Structure 1
Amino acid sequence: MPSDPLAPLLELTGVADGVDRARAAVDSLLGNRTLRRRSADVSAESSVRGAWASAWLAGDEVPLEDVRSGAAAERPVVQGALRAQAAIGQLADTWTRAPRQALARLHALAAADLVDADALGRPRAGTAERVDTLTAVLGLTSAPAVVVAGIVHGELLGVDAFPPVSGIVARAAVRLTLVERGLDPKSLVVVEAGHRELRESYDSALDGYRTGTPEGTAAWLVHCADAVTAGARESLAICEALARG
């Protein structure tokens, strides 16, 4: 394994430009005045919207207001997504020190009402080696946060490592990566809503990533960068709504 196995990905077509767009969008968000006083409120709203969008992408397409009001209390996918989102702050240090442990915890939270207790926290049979390789790569790379997050997302969802909630686990791990790598330290970006906004290209980009070709990998990473950009715009809208009162 090279000293930084993800560094060559920046040379793929469109990836560096996508990273630059995403970083500029997040920087614009972080400069918003509302965050000086109400960053905790923005982060909390981002968490709710993120859980809603992640559950929606997992097939539970409930209205956001149902998530907000508690009307989705009996929907296990939504509740699992909410629990995973709520754990982001607690798991940030674990993600740095022991990412496999953090993934196990995310799966236990997201799938608690969906699978038997003895299956919680365990990768699907045949995927453990892939997950171990991913966690080893995390300790070696200093690639931009957007690239690392895209690889985390693609690896976990691409092999369906933590069914039946691999997508929810993968998208929560993206949040952890953006926090831990310093791009979005307060978990403000609603990156899940970005993927929802780009839903038409989400599945096809993931299929491209699964091929393992440079073209497929590039298309996936550009999609992920665009989702961060769109998620930052969503968070700016939250800031503006709070500023209006």
Structure 2
Amino acid sequence: MPADPLAPLLQLADVAPALDEARAGVDAALRHRALRRQGGRVAAEVSLRAAVASAALEGHGYDAEEVRAGTVTDPVVQGALRVAEGLGALVDLWPRAPRQVLARLHVLAAHGVVPADDLGRPAGGTDRIDALTALVAGNETTPPLLLAAIVHAELLTVRPFAGPAGVVARAAARLTLISRGFDPRGLVAAEVGHLAREPEYVGASGAYATGTPDGVRSWLRHYAAAVTAGADELTAIGDGVLANA
């Protein structure tokens, strides 16, 4: 991919500064002292909160402490937890075989929610998914945060899988950030930021679906804000871990 096909999006008003600000926030959060000695504890907490937030965005909201205690059997929550746990094994495969990874994410997210025969099988939007997977495969040119935002928005717009398609979309975006080295340890729970700004999340994703420059701009600015909020969440988790060490 010799040229970045998404480069024109960086010319939309306020988009490049918003992405740069999010990048700075993530870089600062990833230098937190807690990650040097308690990185495993921090990562586990981030994973839990990301899964709880992603399920809540599908309309299956539960208190994180109830989920932590293992008392929540809701299949969408359980699917989000499986997805969060399974991301690490999919990082290397994502830029090489994105369609295969999307199918696997759907199997993890939708088990117990949709019929077994529908797991991993797109229900529509084939042409657009082909274009998206071609964009992801081998793309080392597009800035990671911009690529993740587009991956997320495209999957929300097309919703190619039955059931909790949003869980798949958010996981694919997170895989993009991990595999491209933006967040190599998967410590930034943008899902928490999306949930904190849920009306904006819904509105901006709907605006993106219109395909207008203003709609795309609205989504990209929201995505940057959600990632910044995820970085703030990481900092708060790190502070808590150090306080209780």
The alpha carbon displacement at 1:33 in A equals 0.9
Q: Indicate the residue corresponding to 1:177 in structure 2.
A: 176
Contact 2:47 2:189 in 1 (8 A): yes
Render the CA deviation track for 1:40-77: whole Å, top value 9, x for unaligned: 221111110000000000000111111100111x2000
Render the CA deviation track for 1:210-240: whole Å, top value 9, x for unaligned: 0101110011011011100001101111000
Task: Give the Cα separation in 1 of the matches to 2:208 and 2:140.
Answer: 19
Q: Secondary structure of 1:97's partner?
A: coil
Q: Between 189-198 and 31-40, report the one with greater CA deviation.
A: 31-40
Q: Indicate the residue corresponding to 1:212 in structure 2.
A: 211
The alpha carbon displacement at 1:2 in A equals 8.4
Query: 1:36-75 counterparts in 2 under 5 A?
Result: 36-72=36-72, 74-75=73-74
Task: Report the aligned-residue RMSD.
Answer: 1.3
Gaps of 5+ in 1: none
Task: Give the Cα separation in 1 of the matches to 2:157 and 2:235.
Answer: 30
Gaps of 5+ in 2: none
Q: Secondary structure of 2:229's partner?
A: helix
Task: Give the Cα separation in 2 of the matches to 1:138 and 1:213.
Answer: 22
Task: Give the Cα separation in 2 of the matches to 1:90 and 1:206.
Answer: 28
Q: Indicate the residue corresponding to 2:229 in structure 1.
A: 230
The alpha carbon displacement at 1:3 in A equals 3.3
Task: Give the Cα separation in 1 of the matches to 2:152 and 2:135.
Answer: 13
Task: Give the Cα separation in 2 of the matches to 1:205 and 1:148.
Answer: 16
Q: Indicate the residue corresponding to 2:134 in structure 1.
A: 136
Show structure 1 runs of 4+ deviating over 3 A.
Answer: none
Query: 1:84-99 counterparts in 2 under 5 A?
Result: 84-99=83-98
Render the CA deviation track for 1:141-190: whole Å, top value 9, x for unaligned: 61211111110000001111222111000011111011011110000011
Contact 2:118 2:162 in 1 (8 A): no
Q: Which amino acid is 1:56 matched to?
A: A
From the superposition, tell whether residues 218 and 2 of structure 1 become closer, same or farther in structure 2 (CA, over 3 Å): farther
Q: Indicate the residue corresponding to 1:148 in structure 2.
A: 147
Contact 1:19 1:144 in 2 (8 A): no
Q: Secondary structure of 1:108's partner?
A: helix
Task: Give the Cα separation in 2 of the matches to 1:6 and 1:37.
Answer: 38
Contact 1:88 1:176 in 2 (8 A): yes
Contact 1:154 1:206 in 2 (8 A): yes
Task: Give the Cα separation in 1 of the matches to 2:33 and 2:226.
Answer: 23
Render the CA deviation track for 1:86-114: whole Å, top value 9, x for unaligned: 01100001102101111100000100101
Q: Indicate the residue corresponding to 1:9 in structure 2.
A: 9
Contact 1:190 1:235 in 2 (8 A): yes
Task: Give the Cα separation in 2 of the matches to 1:179 and 1:20.
Answer: 17
Residue 48 of structure 2 corresponds to residue 28 of structure 1: no
Task: Give the Cα separation in 2 of the matches to 1:137 and 1:113.
Answer: 31
Task: Give the Cα separation in 2 of the matches to 1:141 and 1:153.
Answer: 18
Contact 2:144 2:182 in 1 (8 A): yes
Task: Give the Cα separation in 2 of the matches to 1:41 and 1:142.
Answer: 33
Task: Give the Cα separation in 1 of the matches to 2:166 and 2:80.
Answer: 10
Q: Percent identity?
A: 51
The number of residue pairs the alignment matches comes to 243
Compute the TM-score of the two structures, normalised by the length of structure 2.
Answer: 0.96
